[in-house]
Amino acid sequence: MSALLEVKGLRKAFSGVHAVDGLSFAIQPNTITGIIGPNGSGKSTMIDCISGFQASDAGQVIFDGTDITNRKAYQIARAGLLRTFQTVQVYDDMSLRQNLIQANQPFDDANWLDDFFRTRKYREARDYAGERADGLLKLIGLTRYSDAPAAVLSYGQKKLLALAAALMPKPRMVVLDEPVAGVNPSRIREVEEVILQLHAQGETFVIVEHNVDFIMRLSSRVLVLTGGQLLVEGEPKMVRNDPRVLEAYLGIRA
């Protein structure tokens, strides 16, 4: 099976310090891949380079057979690779449903003329977005707040809403950046269940997270970064027990 995402020799330096240093890995379709590593290991920079929010210095990023290296973020998103952010990004003054419809607008085929004249294309795009939003709100368990402003949500619920927003255009892959950071344990289980349901429907996830237990429960494969390089990759049980991980990530010498 061909990889959905291939990262080859990715490099990014800041003032001579290599945040990402020759990083290579591949992600298969319909998988959940976890990425862990200590602070400063290059996780956030790697995500930014893959998703177009920073330009890499060297290397290649190939998505679904197409070279997307250093393309603009909106071009990469339209190609089918979406991401969430560590800091929740929702519109507090908009309803949950409006948040999701807004998230889909850059991806529909209607332009401003269609919007102005309320053409058939506009109506079809509007109806699709509404149905998609309703379905995702049901999936994340927030239907009862559909017409309420996002400001009423807890932090964990906003994380779920941000995930739903990334899913609106039916992406091929979603990269989740710290999806349960700052989320209480009961809400973490909700996030986990939503991801598993979506994965069962064929969604591909890459999850970058400090919560090791969360990563180990969800992922079929785990990558460990240190110093901007790939230290270990493999099945969760193998990675958890690898002496190099215990030392580099957990600070425990075997």
Q: Write the pLDDT tens digit of every residue in 33-64.
A: 999 999 899 999 999 999 999 999 999 999 99
Query: Please, which pLDDT band fits residue 250 given cuts at 50, 70 and 90?
Result: low
Domain ranges in the chain? 5-90+156-248, 93-152
Residues 179, 200, 77, 225: what is their CA dihedral angle, to the nearest 10 degrees?
A: 50
Residues 178, 181, 216, 200: what is their CA dihedral angle, to the nearest 10 degrees?
A: -70
**What dotted CATH number matches 5-90+156-248?**
3.40.50.300
Structure confidence at residue 251 (pLDDT): 61
Query: Residues 133-183: pLDDT tens digits?
Result: 999 999 999 999 999 999 999 999 999 999 999 999 999 999 999 999 999
Query: Please, which pLDDT band fits residue 249 given cuts at 50, 70 and 90?
Result: low
Cα 38–Cα 43–Cα 44 angle in degrees, nearest 5: 120
pTM for this entry: 0.94
Structure confidence at residue 111 (pLDDT): 83
CA distances from 91 to 17, 94, 156 (A): 36, 5, 15
Query: 119 — alpha (psi -120 to 50), left (phi > 0) or beta?
Result: beta
Structure confidence at residue 192 (pLDDT): 96
Positive or negative, the CA dihedral 68, 73, 77, 82 is positive
Q: Output the average pLDDT for the chain.
A: 94
Average pLDDT over every residue of 116-131:
89
